Amino acid sequence: MSEAVSPPPLQSGLTEWEETTVAETVARAPERPETADVQRLYTPLDAEPGTRNLEQHYLDQLGFPGQFPFTRGVQPTMYRSRFWTMRQYAGYGTAAEANERFKYLLAQGQTGLSVAFDLATQIGYDSDDPRAAGEVGQAGVAIDSLRDMEALLAGIPLDKVSISMTINAPAAVLLAMVIVAGERQGVGAGKLRGTIQNDILKEYVARGTYIFPPGPSLRLAADAMAYCAQQVPRWNAISVSGYHIRDAGSSAAQEMGFAIANALAYIDAVLERGIGIDDFAPQISWIFNTQNNFFEEAAKYRALRRLWARIMRDEYCAQDPKSMMLRTHVQTGGATLTAQQPLNNIARAGFQAFASVLGGIQSMALSCYDEALALPTEEAQATALRTQQIIAHEIGVTETIDPLAGSYYVEAMTDRLEAEARELIGRVRDMGGSVKAIESGWMQLQIADSAWKQQQAVESGEQIIVGVNKYQTPDEERPVGIFRPDSETHRTQISRLEKLRAGRDPESVQSALSALNAAATAPASPANNLLPPILAAVRAEATLGEICGVLRQVWGEYQPPTVI
């Protein structure tokens, strides 16, 4: 009769601890209900390979910074050599007003610019369009023409300061404006540094600033990526966004999985244009959303890098390590900000920023403490920037690389998030890809269900939000000032448009718009990229609304499915 095999010492000790010490303690002091979904204790049983060779497991799962699978960071020395780019999100009113705010932030030590556009610009309407009434210059800067773009970037050296633009449906048009503005500054397209978000697919599921149906929109985004790969090599032609998916209510794993699924749709479309994977994949950048679950958020960035590297190497056969690097900008969670006790948002954003740095991000903006009330004031923007500078210089977190590595909890969470995101990517692929998943409403429904569960947790008190459902201040008075853009912005923009139209050559404008119409009507192909005719229209001083109006005539506007 064979002897019974004893459990390994660690497993045996863990079981004994739970059945004796823990059981006695819990009987006296029950654990908080909100801890139920998190394992009580993480040990090497959760984070190590068991009987596998420990060193090989380390090399497979973690590796070294700057090397595949990039779990520990995309740069060999990370913040020991240079900090992340500090790039506060800003823009309001006219181009001249936004330019002043940008110069203020650069003077405070900001190292890059991140442009917010007003709603009219985001959905391709000129400021004098009746549908733009009430929105001009309110949520961001109003850009109607090349002249506005030149005013926005006046005095900013485009070959030295990188420009990130949160623009999606008309991203190709705004990119063309930057290219021509650079030419007029004497900075050729090859020297421009920056990013257009250009991630239209997430607009259909999370944010809503779409214009055209998904198919034509994907074509326009892929054309911009293909053009930049060949003509604007230092420009990131897309910043795939998990940020807005998360702010819409997704889980961390959904943010990861749906963002990567969308990225694969863009990659497949660019490959169809005859561009090699290593010729454009290094120009793919990302933006994600750091929220309040500190360790999950840090683990998320580690898992994202590893998952992306494996997909690019193993499925797309990328050879260039830069194609496998997931380089990301981060914005702290706008949806986590509260209008109640708004100064608490400074702490929220600070902890979120700290988690982001521990996760190894490349660029960051903090959502300002007053954003739940209005556009940020200069004081709020400066406080957000100072928070980043304190993390960089004062608390020692940047001295070593990936300091959370080896934490049983963090490594187990990194593995879990990677597995959950990969499973979601597989489900989207089984449906035929992101466009099909969006057109069916499935992706939207997954996010809506997650958002509903989160809201139920807050309303029931299961999830405590300080100042909202606990620790409220009776008769609270708002302790912060409110910033409002100039109400004259609308009239100023209309006047600028009138002068523009009176002084340009109408025949050149019409000729350029007709050529764009013909290109958009013809099928997509490597020889029929839409960026050249859009550039020609911008040089002729056609407006944003006129260019997007041509595309509306050809492609129509998107009508979303009803999600029940």
Residue 472, both tokens: 């409220």
pLDDT at 168: 96
> Looking at per-residue confidence, does 475 or 559 come out higher?
559
Instruction: Say how far apart CA 166 and CA 275 lie, in whole Å.
Output: 25
pLDDT band at 563 (very low <50, low <70, confident <90, very high): low
Give the C-alpha distances (Å, rounded to integers) separating 376 from 121, 142, 267, 299.
20, 17, 36, 30
pLDDT at 55: 80
Given a cut of 90, is residue 486 above it in pLDDT? no
- Residue 323 gets the label, from left (phi > 0), alpha (psi -120 to 50) or beta, of alpha
Given a cut of 90, is residue 513 above it in pLDDT? yes
Given a cut of 90, is residue 259 above it in pLDDT? yes
Residue 53, both tokens: 């060779």
Considering the domain architecture, whether residues 63 and 50 belong to the same structural domain is answered as no
pLDDT at 501: 95
pLDDT at 4: 61
**363-365 and 328-332 beta bridge pairing:** parallel
| pLDDT, average across residues 527-539 | 97
Q: Is 253 a member of any domain? A: yes
pLDDT at 479: 62
Tens of pLDDT, residues 272-314: 999 999 999 999 999 999 999 999 999 999 999 999 999 999 9
Token look-up 């404008």 returns 509
Which of 99-108, 344-353, 425-434, 517-526 is predicted least confidently? Answer: 99-108
Considering the domain architecture, whether residues 22 and 123 belong to the same structural domain is answered as no
Considering the domain architecture, whether residues 155 and 49 belong to the same structural domain is answered as no
Instruction: Say how far apart CA 387 and CA 381 lie, in whole Å.
Output: 10
Which of 6-20, 237-251, 460-474 is predicted least confidently? Answer: 6-20
Given a cut of 70, is residue 2 above it in pLDDT? no
Q: Is 392 a member of any domain? A: yes
Considering the domain architecture, whether residues 214 and 335 belong to the same structural domain is answered as yes
pLDDT band at 477 (very low <50, low <70, confident <90, very high): confident
Q: Tally the domains of the chain.
A: 2
Token look-up 């020609």 returns 536
Q: Which is nearest to 442 in space by CA: 243, 210, 216, 258?
A: 258
pLDDT at 5: 63
Q: Is 472 a member of any domain? A: no
Q: Is 554 a member of any domain? A: no
Considering the domain architecture, whether residues 33 and 96 belong to the same structural domain is answered as no
Q: Is 533 a member of any domain? A: no
- Give the count of beta carbons closer than 10 Å to the beta carbon of residue 347: 12
Q: Please identify, among 38, 58, 78, the residue that sits at the C-terminal boundary of a domain.
A: 58
Considering the domain architecture, whether residues 54 and 129 belong to the same structural domain is answered as no
Q: Is 245 a member of any domain? A: yes
pLDDT at 253: 98
Q: Is 438 a member of any domain? A: yes
Do residues 442 and 431 make contact, with C-beta atoms less than 8 angstroms apart? Answer: yes
* φ/ψ of residue 400, rounded to 5: -125, 165
pLDDT at 474: 84
pLDDT at 89: 78
> Looking at per-residue confidence, does 488 or 231 come out higher?
231
Which of 107-116, 175-184, 206-215 is predicted least confidently? Answer: 107-116
Q: Using alpha carbons only, how large is the chain's radius of gyration in Å? A: 25
Instruction: Say how far apart CA 343 and CA 347 lie, in whole Å.
Output: 8
What is the span of the domain harbouring residue 447? 59-460
Tens of pLDDT, residues 70-84: 999 999 999 999 999
> Looking at per-residue confidence, does 43 or 252 come out higher?
252
Tens of pLDDT, residues 159-197: 999 999 999 999 999 999 999 999 999 999 999 999 999
Considering the domain architecture, whether residues 133 and 117 belong to the same structural domain is answered as yes
Q: Is 337 a member of any domain? A: yes
pLDDT band at 110 (very low <50, low <70, confident <90, very high): confident
Q: Please identify, among 442, 460, 478, the residue that sits at the C-terminal boundary of a domain.
A: 460
Considering the domain architecture, whether residues 340 and 210 belong to the same structural domain is answered as yes
User: What secondary structure letter does DSSP report for 200?
Assistant: -
pLDDT band at 523 (very low <50, low <70, confident <90, very high): very high
Considering the domain architecture, whether residues 437 and 410 belong to the same structural domain is answered as yes
Q: Please identify, among 460, 477, 495, the residue that sits at the C-terminal boundary of a domain.
A: 460
Class of residue 375 by CB neighbours under 10 A (exposed 0-12, middle 13-18, buried 19+):
buried
Instruction: Tell me the percentage of the chain whose pLDDT exceeds 90.
Output: 76
Considering the domain architecture, whether residues 348 and 335 belong to the same structural domain is answered as yes
- Residue 112 gets the label, from left (phi > 0), alpha (psi -120 to 50) or beta, of beta
Considering the domain architecture, whether residues 171 and 72 belong to the same structural domain is answered as yes
pLDDT at 49: 60
Given a cut of 70, is residue 121 above it in pLDDT? yes
Considering the domain architecture, whether residues 88 and 156 belong to the same structural domain is answered as yes
pLDDT at 9: 81
Given a cut of 90, is residue 25 above it in pLDDT? no
DSSP string, 42-66: --HHHHS-TTS-HHHHHHHHT--TT
DSSP string, 437-493: HHHTTHHHHHHHHHHHHHHHHHHHTSS--BTTTBS--TT----S--B---TTHHHHH
CATH number, domain containing residue 66: 3.20.20.240
